[in-house]
Amino acid sequence: MSDATILIIEDNEDTRELLKYNLAAAGYEVASAADGHEGLESARATLPDLILLDLMLPGMDGLEVCRRLKQNQETARIPVIMLTARGEEVDRIVGLELGADDYVVKPFSPRELSLRIKAVLRRTPGEDNGPDELWEEDGLRVDFGAHTVDIRDERVPLTATEFKLLSELIRGRGKVQTRDHLLDMVWDTHFEGYSRTVDTHIRRLRQKLGDFADWIETVRGVGYRFKS
C-alpha cells in the first residue's frame, strides 16, 4: 500500500471515476479535477506526488497544463503521466519534451497504469540519484539527497526529469553516454526513435546551468559527456 497522493485531471467522468476507484484500492490518496484550469489550481494547492493528466481537455488541453506545471517552481518537480486516446508519435514526443515523465495510451489496463505509476514514483525526489549525497565543483552544487541544484548559492529550479538527467550525466562524468542509454536510465524505458527528446532536455538543462552549460559536451553522432 502507498500513502502517495495522485491528482487525476480527466474530463470524462466514467474514466475519472474508474481511475479514482482503482487508485484508491491500490492504497493511494486520490484527488481529481474535470478540466485543465481546475487541475492547475488543485496541483498548486495540494502539491500531489504524481499527476495523471489527460491530453484532450476542454478549455486548456493537457499539453498546456503540463507546460504551465513545469514552468511553475512549486509544481515543476511533480511527475506527470499523460493519458490520451491519441497514440501518434508526435503527441508522445511533444508530451515528453514538455517534461512529462511517461505517456499511456487509452485504453490501458489498471495493471499497466499501476506499474507505470510505481516506476515514476521510484525516481521522484528523495532517492539517491547520484554517486554521492553531495557533489560540488567550482560553484555548481548538486545535493542528491535533497534533490536540489545551486549555482553560487542560487537555487536552480529543475524538473524531476531534468534533475534525473543531470544526475545520470554526473554519475558517468568523463564517459560518453548515448541517447539510448539516457532514455533507458532517465525515463526507465526506451522510446524507440525518441532521441530528440533527450536533445530537448539537454538544451533546457544547459540553459538553466548558465555558465556551466558547456560542462555538458556534445559528442557528435554518439551522445553526451559531462566534464570529468
Residue 213 per-residue DSSP state? G
By the 8 A CB rule, do 53 and 80 touch? Answer: yes
pLDDT of residue 50: 95
Same domain for 149 and 117: no
Please state the pTM of the whole predicted model: 0.68
Residue 145: count of CB within 10 angstroms of its CB: 14
Q: Are residues 108 and 206 in the same domain?
A: no
- Nearest in space to 83 (alpha carbons), one of 62, 58, 109, 114: 62
Last residue of a domain, one of 122, 155, 182: 122
23-68, pLDDT tens digit by residue?
Answer: 999 999 999 999 999 999 999 999 999 999 998 898 899 999 999 9
Instruction: Show the domain range for 189.
Output: 134-226
Let me know: does 103 contact 92? Beta carbons within 8 Å.
yes
| Residue 127 domain flag | no
Same domain for 44 and 76, yes or no, is yes
86/154 Cα distance (integer angstroms): 40
Domain boundary among 122, 152, 183: 122
Task: Tell me: do 111 and 182 sit in the same domain.
Answer: no
For residue range 122-169, what is the model confidence (pLDDT) as tens digits? 766 544 444 458 889 999 999 987 888 999 989 898 887 888 899 999
- Identify whether 71 is part of a domain: yes
How far is the first Cα of the chain from the last one, in angstroms, to the nearest whole number? 42
Q: What is the CATH number of the domain that holds 197?
A: 1.10.10.10
Claim to verify: residue 161 and residue 76 sit in the same structural domain = no
Q: Are residues 18 and 106 in the same domain?
A: yes
